[in-house]
Structure 1
Amino acid sequence: MKWGTKYGPEYVNRLYAMVRRHLSGDFKFVCLTDDGAGIRPEVLCLPIPPLDLSLAPGQRDGAWKKLTTFSADLHGLSGTALFLDVDVVVVGGLDAFFEQPGEFLIIHDYARPWRRERITGNSSVYRFELGAHADVLDYFRANTEKVQAEFRNEQRYLSDFLYRQHKLNYWPTQWCPSFKYHGIPPFPANLWREPFVPDGSRIMIFHGECNPPDALAGRRNRLFRYIRPANWVARYWKE
């Protein structure tokens, strides 16, 4: 899913290429977007379904847009879907993501496991049957203010909703590590050791202040947390 101007078409094109290299067999690669310009022809570009929210001036629906993937009829698509954030980096085989048992699978979120959000999933990578969880979106549309007052973001709401239905399952921990939590050597080793791909990784997750080109350049928004260039990114994040 890509909207706005933060991510250019190269993110989609490289994501497609990484999936093609790491997933066996045939698949359909879909990008829900408000601008398909520059995206390679192998990618099926479709419009992002409207959330139908009443937004105040200047207010944005942001990542809540992800909930539209649970539409009862998503442009006539059917089958098993693996959602990938546009800024992840695929570093290992993806077949297992379609073989892992569970009705709905998501990353177990990394931060604050001792607090209420211990059940929260990180929605950078999740798998579901298209059309099977339309109630997630229907309830949000009917109770938007209530949901947004209770949950800070879409992944907390999504996780809580499916947890209450006993449908929430998580990927094996090592499959989807966080670059900033698991791929940067601890201080002071970060001063001389490069960021790395942890053993067992299949998809590296970039969330927060650093994305793949930042990591490749050795650049972070938090200046007090130095990193060397993550040269491994260039081996995977490419067409």
Structure 2
Amino acid sequence: MKQIICVKWGQKFGPDYVNRLYGMVRRNISGPFRLVCLTDDARGLRREVEAYALPELGCAAPQRSMGKWRKLVLWGAELPALTGLSGPVLFIDLDSVIVDNIDGYFSYGDPEDVILARNWAKPLQRLGQTSVFRFPAGRHPQILAHFRANPQGIADRCRFEQHYITEAVPGGIKFWPEAWTRHFRLHCLPPFPLRYFMPARLPQGAKIVTFPGGPNPSDVQLGRWSEEQPAHPGRLAHLRAGFGPGRHEAKLWRHLTRFVMPVGWIGEHWIE
């Protein structure tokens, strides 16, 4: 039984994201599987999704950090008892797009390994990225316990939850094969200014495309960077907006680089 888990809390992602993830997994996996969702609101989830109450972090949430520290509940000793999960479990962020068969994510490496995507935003450092990672459920509760003892200090030092995981896993982490997990902005989106003339490409060999730090796949398929932008205003309209009241970013350079043409392959894969 292949096991997948996701986390949904707050207002950023609705139940459609979880349902869409289930559909993508079902189309791109062999044999039986289960999708577990830890959430603070299970309304609207399709019946095949196993929803469980999202555990509390167990300490004060860090205040001066961008990290998604709530994801650390995945490392709690109570996770197997809460969900029935045991052995290797694959976590997938809700804003990920599955584009090919993911069986390899379950057979790669040793079942006891903690395997992450490489953090390609910092290629010279051996850092992991937790948009897609596999871990043995309940085997490393000391990671969460250690964090609970000094949450603000760890957050101030590591800044991001994934940086803390990189250093906290006993024996170290491993990485997926390079081609499998691709970062949309870094591996799919053409560099500025080519993105004004070329749509984002789907890299050869990719299985899952991740969107850490945005933009959101729901916006990209419409040809916009965020909900605040009109859908595909056209390159000239976007350029003109940068020098007028239609600019959505404080810095001109940030506005100019945040342009994306509509991406058709997202709509082909990112559906329930």
Q: Is the 8 A contact 2:67 2:161 kept in 1?
A: no
Q: Is the 8 A contact 1:119 1:160 kept in 2?
A: no
- 1:237 equivalent in structure 2: 270
* Bigger Rg, which one: 2
Q: TM-score, normalised by structure 1?
A: 0.92
Describe how 1:1-239 pairs up with structure 2 within 5 A. Answer: 1-55=7-61, 63-74=68-79, 75=82, 76-102=84-110, 103-114=113-124, 118-162=125-169, 165-221=170-226, 222-225=254-257, 226-239=259-272
- Which consecutive residues of structure 1, in runs of 5 or more, have no partner in the other structure? none
Which string of whole-angstrom CA distances, capped at 9 and with x for unpartnered residues, describes residues 216-238 of structure 1?
01112553122210111110000
Matched to 2:14, the amino acid is: G
Matched to 2:268, the amino acid is: R
Q: Is the 8 A contact 1:84 1:126 kept in 2?
A: yes
Q: Is the 8 A contact 1:123 1:155 kept in 2?
A: yes
Matched to 2:39, the amino acid is: T
RMSD: 1.9
Residue 71 of structure 1, CA deviation: 1.2
Q: Is the 8 A contact 2:61 2:151 kept in 1?
A: no
SS of 2:8's equivalent in the other structure is coil
- 2:235 equivalent in structure 1: none
Q: TM-score, normalised by structure 2?
A: 0.81
SS of 1:13's equivalent in the other structure is helix
Residue 176 of structure 1, CA deviation: 0.7
- 2:230 equivalent in structure 1: none
Distance in 2 (CA, whole Å) between partners of 1:187 and 1:50 is 41
Are the structure 2 counterparts of residues 153 and 53 from structure 1 closer, same or farther at C-alpha, using a change threshold of 3 Å? Answer: same
- Which consecutive residues of structure 2, in runs of 5 or more, have no partner in the other structure? 1-6, 227-253
Distance in 2 (CA, whole Å) between partners of 1:119 and 1:101 is 18
Q: Is the 8 A contact 2:66 2:160 kept in 1?
A: no
Q: Is the 8 A contact 1:11 1:87 kept in 2?
A: yes
Sequence identity percentage: 39
Distance in 2 (CA, whole Å) between partners of 1:61 and 1:51 is 16
Distance in 2 (CA, whole Å) between partners of 1:209 and 1:78 is 32
* Count of paired positions: 233
Q: Which ranges of 4 or more aligned residues in structure 1 deviate by more than 6 Å? A: 58-62
SS of 1:82's equivalent in the other structure is strand
